[in-house]
Amino acid sequence: MTGDSAWLGFQRLPEVTVHASGALAQTIRAELRQTRRVRTDVQVAVCIMTRVRETPLWREVEAALPEHGLGVEGFVVVRRGNDLVVAAEGGHGLLYGYFYLLRYFEWMSGDFTVVEQPAVPIRMLDHWDQLSGAVERGYSGRSIFFRDGSVVPDLTRVRAYARLLASIGINAVALANADLPEVARLAAVFREYGIAVSLSVEFTDDPSDERVARWWSATISRVYDAVPDFGGLVVRAGRDAEGANLLARAVAPYGGTVFWRYSGDEQAHDWRDRGTDRARAAYDHLIPLDGRFEENVVLQVKHGPTDFQVREPMSPLLGELQETVFALELQVTQEYSGQQQDLCYLAPWWREILQFDTTGGGGTTVADRIGAIVAVSNVGDAPNWTGHKLAQSNLYAFGRLAWEPAADPVSLLHEWAAATFAMDDRTRSELVTIMSGSWRTYERYTAPLGVGFMVTPQTHYGPSVNGYEYSGRGTYHFADRYGVGVDRTVKTGSGFTGQYPEPLAGTYEDVTTCPDELLLFFHHVAYDHVLHNGSTVLQHIYDTHFQGYAEVEAMVARWRVIAERFEPVVRENITARFEAQLVNAREWRDQVNTFFYRLSGVPDTHRRTIHG
């Protein structure tokens, strides 16, 4: 069983001539054998640059080359009349060029020249799959890789997954640490699509012990003997530079990388103490280590200072790390944004993150500064890969934004929908309308003004306003009868705003300039504090939660109009999840509004029903 074809089900190509050799050229030929044909007079050639003069457009291709070349993964597409050439310097670029052709061919018209190169060199998905087959923070069934302590015997579905990832430009995956022959089996499948496999490991040894260094060196040598293109190691809970550097020295002779993933603040916090702040932890721990890591260590930094909340500020580390290569970590699997039960298209949020000005003054963006982009994957053995059919859009958008961080999320949604469903343009536009604003809708009926962690403990699905407030993991809203929000200012709070450079620090420090959507993340304010939009904080909470639920009702209504145009299995999957989302949104609306009404005693000015 391979699962559904996702966004690779409906594209067509004419006959294509391949002027290249090697493993990835063979993959392209295999792809062409299973691609549906379209009748056209266009003559298409896919060629390596050393053979480009075998094509009629070689002069145009050579003229289009960037001054410093295409690199390992770049490609050029040139069309003149009925001739079309895709060219690259190597197999990886040729494979990505082929998938570009597959994605856009039926939309291509007229003469054009396109040059594509990825903005970020490493584009990776982390899979927190366990050897038992369970998936940590997975919402789409069990693992496609592992079952009962070992790799699954049939890798057909793994190959289909590798194909999906290559088509959106993913070039690396991290998997659980299985037996070496089993790792080699998986790596061989991913290699067919230009994807390097890394292993997720725990590191709890003493890095000063020479025996530890020798053991890791010998172990890594055996790994590279079995998997010559092994990507490296991902340490999920990295703490100190010495451990990272020991591993980095072990993989360095083979060109490997160590992804040192800071695990966050693990110390217990006394909720009575307003001076403690989980948001500070990553910066406080890692900035003193900046510059102390080996060159092949990549610090893996979560995009926000807490934990993938539906709205939080950018981590100050994304602007303040100066001497260490770092990766931006996102979360495709929707742990805190609906768990692939509620529709929540995250690409608009990710683009905001990638385009965020880390200086606050017209300087470098997050996308400009990162050496890699990583996300926790959202796939499992559900027939449609992601549980919610529409959640496939997040996986697609992650890959496309990792390649081009400035891509328009709505355009990506149109791309994905057109490739995924056989439908007319009007239906596609309606589906895109339903989906494109779903992140904002989710934010409205869940988290007000930057408050996070109002979720059910452990499961993280559904509302529990005080679920984590007294848990020892930090405090997140500090709501009392007079006001709400966490004071993270330098002047009177935890000092977190001081971790940003000016003018960002000053913007966040001042309650009058702090963006409304982050107000309660940075400030404790009275319920009658007036936002920039003229509403009071409390009225905004009421309004947005009523609005968010109403928007889900509207989404469901619009879906019902077009649902019959989809295949029954798709229609039933999406309809069931919309019905569950409506229930969830109602619970969020009523529990949050009732909590603040009971606490403040201030009614809704529009006299809507709040359950006091």
Residue 3: what pLDDT? 75
Question: Which residue type, as a one-letter code, is found at position 534?
Answer: G
> In terms of residue numbers, what domain contains 27?
12-116
Mean pLDDT of the residues in the chain = 96
Q: Are residues 71 and 86 in the same domain?
A: yes
- 492 lies in a domain? no
Rounded CA Rg of the chain: 25
Question: Which residue type, as a one-letter code, is found at position 604?
Answer: D
Q: Which DSSP letter does residue 89 get?
A: S
User: Per-residue pLDDT tens for 59-104?
Assistant: 999 999 999 999 999 999 999 999 999 999 999 999 999 999 999 9
* Alpha-carbon separation of residue 258 from 123, 127, 134, 204, 305 (angstroms): 14, 16, 25, 15, 22
- 276 lies in a domain? yes
- 511 lies in a domain? no
CA 78/CA 61 separation, integer angstroms = 6
Q: Are residues 108 and 137 in the same domain?
A: no
CA 289/CA 134 separation, integer angstroms = 35
Q: Are residues 145 and 88 in the same domain?
A: no
Q: Is 145 helix (H, G, I), strand (E, B) or coil?
A: coil
- For 526, other C-beta atoms within 10 Å of its C-beta total 14
CA 145/CA 157 separation, integer angstroms = 9
User: Per-residue pLDDT tens for 227-240?
Assistant: 999 999 999 988 78
Q: DSSP characters for 97-140? A: HHHHHHHHGGG--SSEEEEE--SSSEEEEE--B-TTS-BTT--S
Q: Give the CATH number for residue 573.
A: 3.90.1330.10
Residue 91: what pLDDT? 98
Q: Are residues 203 and 317 in the same domain?
A: yes
Q: Are residues 286 and 378 in the same domain?
A: yes
- 4 lies in a domain? no
User: Per-residue pLDDT tens for 13-70?
Assistant: 999 999 999 999 999 999 999 999 999 999 999 999 999 999 999 999 999 999 999 9
Q: Give the CATH number for residue 235.
A: 3.20.20.80
Instruction: Answer yes or no: are the C-beta atoms of 201 and 177 closer than 8 Å.
Output: yes
Q: Which DSSP letter does residue 398 get?
A: H
User: Per-residue pLDDT tens for 485-496?
Assistant: 999 999 999 999
The pLDDT-based confidence of 267 (bands split at 50, 70, 90) is low
Q: Is 414 helix (H, G, I), strand (E, B) or coil?
A: helix
Q: Are residues 209 and 68 in the same domain?
A: no
Q: Is 18 helix (H, G, I), strand (E, B) or coil?
A: strand
* Alpha-carbon separation of residue 543 from 48, 185, 477 (angstroms): 58, 54, 18
